[in-house]
Amino acid sequence: MIFTPEETRYILQKNVTDQAFGFGFWSHPTPPSYHPIRGSSIETFQKCLANGSYTSEDLVRTFLVRIAEVNDRTHAVVEINPDALGIARALDREREVSGPKSLLHGIPILVKDSISAHGMNNTAGSYCLAGAKTKNEASMTVRLRQARAIILEKSNMSQWDNGRSSADNASNGWSSWGGQAYGVYTLQQDLCRSSSGSATAMAMGLAVATIGVETVGSITYPAMESNIVSIKPTAEPVAKDNVIVAKSRRAVGPMTSTIKDTAILLTFMAGKSKLDTVTKLVPFKKMPDYAKSCNRNALRNARIGIPRNGLNNPIGVNINMAAIMKAFGDAALLMQKNGATIVENANYPAYDDVYSKAPQAIYGPSEYGLDIAKFFKELSINPKNIHSIKDMIECTKPNPLEEYPSHNIAVFENVEKALRFNSPEVAAASKQMKYLGAEGGIDGALEAVTADALILPSVICSDIPGFAGHLTITVPMGFLPPGTPVTKKSEGRSDR
């Protein structure tokens, strides 16, 4: 946890305690009735900022205290923006003089520690990048600042986006830089993928909204485990420059309390960037206002498919599958009551090949090595002089803070000996992955039954969208029944 001296003094002098997620600081003598900071919408915060109930500075100070209260148990936040209070004051003055510039004006937001934000470290969870600086701030971060959002903090994550240790050794949410991030619903809860800190921060009310990064499941699974809303968009709308590691299928997406908040945030995050050529594929001169699509009649006449063969995902087998499927059935029925037609057996055409062919085992390491080298070239300050996977290995192994060999470097070693990215084998694997995700996956299923969208429980849905870089939306589906046993994993984390 990193606090500036001013922030530390303020917390110690005020000696505040948790006020049931209420606001602890006020710039006027009489506090109004508060609303929860956890679960409240962006529009609710903006309404209170507009009517003078509190200021953006009040918000920042409250979130700082909330972080201090809970972060030693969850390890969700790894760094505070040292300029956050000054930025909040400036945005409060701007609001007084000329009004808010957008729905994000003065709204504190957290970004994952793989997204470059000037004034803070961008470590991907490793001491090897401590103190390193990129030449440019991530385009997505710049867009949020232009909308007058406050980049308040950085979130913990699985080190190198689970790109260091083998699957049987990796610990979801662990990084040497931030420690072991946990969820909020059981003691030492495992959040399943790399955007763990962003999900926990959202669930605990440590920011108004948070940002995660995903290739396969890294936003979707933590959002599911944290009972929050998320959107993993396609690769094109949100620029991925100065994001570690900007793979072709990777996407940057919002994690919030409501569908409308994710739409609002995505509207401001998205847009073309000269630093990410993929964004040229966006077909709009001006990005649409996604929040306008959020209405109660949106499901009328929609055809929603259920790929029943996707329920046989061998990775997604869960001891609580009966309860999950009961909740899933109730959710499908609710969609039907709101005007949707549920189409059964909207099956993936090539589903049997998804786990037997495993082209990602060839393509993934090759692309990883290429992209990480590109990122290192963008560093203006590189204290550890890291330029390649080999350098990452040489930096990691002797540093006791990196906890090697208890956390192995099997992924690094696989990347080091991976096939060249321009090899025929990698090209073939890339083609097969896109097929399994698109024509043999989602596109093929949609076309076969003329459906508008597919639905599955989040626990088994992320692999195929990840292959083709397709969009995934996660929404809460309730809770497991009372008395559901908590199981412990070998690393000591909890699962349910």
Residue-level pLDDT at 491: 57
> What's domain 5-292's superfamily in CATH?
Amidase signature (AS) domain (3.90.1300.10)
Q: Are 408 and 166 in contact (CB under 8 A)?
A: yes
- 137: its two tokens: 């701030």
CA distance 399 to 393: 10
Residue-level pLDDT at 279: 94
Marked catalytic residue, from 114, 126, 176, 194: 194
Determine if the peptide bond prior to 405 is cis (ω within 30°): yes
Question: Helix crossing, 139-146 with 259-269: angle to 10°?
Answer: 110
Per-residue pLDDT averaged across 192-200, rounded?
Answer: 94
Residue-level pLDDT at 19: 37
In 141-206, the DSSP E strands lie at 150-155, 174-175, 179-180
Return the minimum-mean-pLDDT range out of 33-47, 283-297, 314-328, 440-454.
Answer: 314-328
**What pTM did the predictor assign?**
0.91
> CB under 8 Å to 112, separation ≥6 — which residues?
154, 155, 157, 195, 197, 198, 210, 211, 212, 213
**Confidence bin at 217 (pLDDT 50/70/90):** confident
Residue-level pLDDT at 455: 97
Marked catalytic residue, from 53, 112, 158, 195: 112
Residue-level pLDDT at 489: 67
* Count of CA atoms in the C-beta half-sphere (13 A) of 435: 14
Nearest to 309 by CA among 357, 355, 346: 346
Active site residue 112: yes
Marked catalytic residue, from 218, 230, 458, 462: 218
Nearest to 212 by CA among 220, 329, 79: 220
**Confidence bin at 113 (pLDDT 50/70/90):** very high
Rounded to 10 degrees, what is the CA torsion of 265, 196, 235, 429? -170
pLDDT at 178 over 90: yes
Active site residue 194: yes
**DSSP H helix total and E strand total for the chain:** 16, 16
Residue-level pLDDT at 487: 78
Tens of pLDDT, residue by residue over 227-248, are 999 999 999 999 999 999 877 8
CA distance 394 to 398: 7
Active site residue 431: no
**Confidence bin at 479 (pLDDT 50/70/90):** confident
Per-residue pLDDT averaged across 357-378, rounded?
Answer: 91
Rounded to 5°, the CA angle 333-336-341 comes to: 125
Residue-level pLDDT at 248: 84
**Confidence bin at 392 (pLDDT 50/70/90):** very high
pLDDT at 31 over 50: no
Residues, the chain: 496
Tens of pLDDT, residue by residue over 312-364, are 765 555 668 889 999 999 999 999 999 999 999 999 999 988 877 778 899 99
Per-residue pLDDT averaged across 167-173, rounded?
Answer: 91
pLDDT at 36 over 90: no
User: Any idea where the domains of the chain sit in the sequence?
Assistant: 5-292
pLDDT at 49 over 80: yes
**Confidence bin at 7 (pLDDT 50/70/90):** very low
Per-residue pLDDT averaged across 434-459, rounded?
Answer: 96
pLDDT at 28 over 60: no
